[in-house]
Amino acid sequence: MPKGRLYGIGVGPGDPELLTLKALRLLQSCPVVVYQSAEDKPSVARGIVAGYLPGNQIEFPYHLPRAIDAVAAQPIYDKIVTPIAEHLAAGRDVVVLCEGDPLFYGSFMYVFTRLSDEFETEVVPGISSPMGCASALGVPISYRNDIFSVLPAPLPVEVLEAQLLNADAVAIIKLRRHFAKVRDVLQKLGMSSRAQYIERGTMENQKIIPLHEVDPAQVPYFSMILVPSKSRL
């Protein structure tokens, strides 16, 4: 019996209409659908595609403790992939949902690195949050020969400063409890007025808030600061 194929599909930043045609086709044709969720919360990725599910699939949610570090999550991923591998070995195609893009800071990468040697694997790119948020804000990110960087907010202040000074446009991700630190850095560098804050970009409850009005205690995981290029060319 031929083995099943593993598909990692990006479901985009939140708006269900930002799914690609290819992701939709695979989502609806694979017998097994896998997605991540915290123990105590519904899965964001499944929520995005809920309206497209035909209802006759095997669903397999895997749980990670809330706000778990990627290093601490590795032994959990070792276990998570076992039932996925069993479905594949039994000849069933498996689609793994991933918010945003699967290979760009995506949770799917931990499944990919464990199973893609053994099973035929295909990845379907998704709309990544910098592009989703730029569209939601209506702001061009980068022009022509601009340097664009993605900076995770947990980086040390010195690194953030140096990177902000050396790029033309920046997306700062994973803000959460690092928001105040990032806002201070932007202030110090004179970039506050250019920076734009958005949370849950393209989701139903999307909010765009002026940077100085954001409550640092209320910054969710799905938030971003975009510093668009100063260029107009």
Which parts of this chain interact with a copy of itself (CB under 8 A)? 10, 12-13, 15-22, 24-25, 70-71, 74, 101-106, 109, 112-113, 116, 121, 123-128, 130-132, 134-135, 138-152, 154-155, 159, 162-163, 166-167, 174, 232-233
Going by the DSSP 8-state scheme, the letter that residue 73 receives in this structure is H
For a copy of itself, give the closer residue by CB, 1 or 165: 165
Least distance CB 161 / a copy of itself (angstroms): 12
Q: How far is CA 44 from the centre of its chain?
A: 10
Q: What do you get for the CA distance between the two ends of the chain, in Å?
A: 56
For a copy of itself, give the closer residue by CB, 90 or 116: 116
Cα angle, residue 182 at apex, residues 176 and 183 outer, rounded to 5°: 105
Least distance CB 83 / a copy of itself (angstroms): 22
CB 49 within 8 A of CB 16: yes
Least distance CB 195 / a copy of itself (angstroms): 16
For a copy of itself, give the closer residue by CB, 25 or 230: 25
Least distance CB 141 / a copy of itself (angstroms): 5
Least distance CB 99 / a copy of itself (angstroms): 13
Per-residue tokens: 179 = 């928001």
CA distance to 131, 165, 174, per residue, from 137 (Å): 10, 23, 18
For a copy of itself, give the closer residue by CB, 99 or 213: 99
Q: Tally Cβ neighbours within 10 Å of residue 87.
A: 21
For a copy of itself, give the closer residue by CB, 95 or 141: 141
Residue written as tokens 């910098």? 130
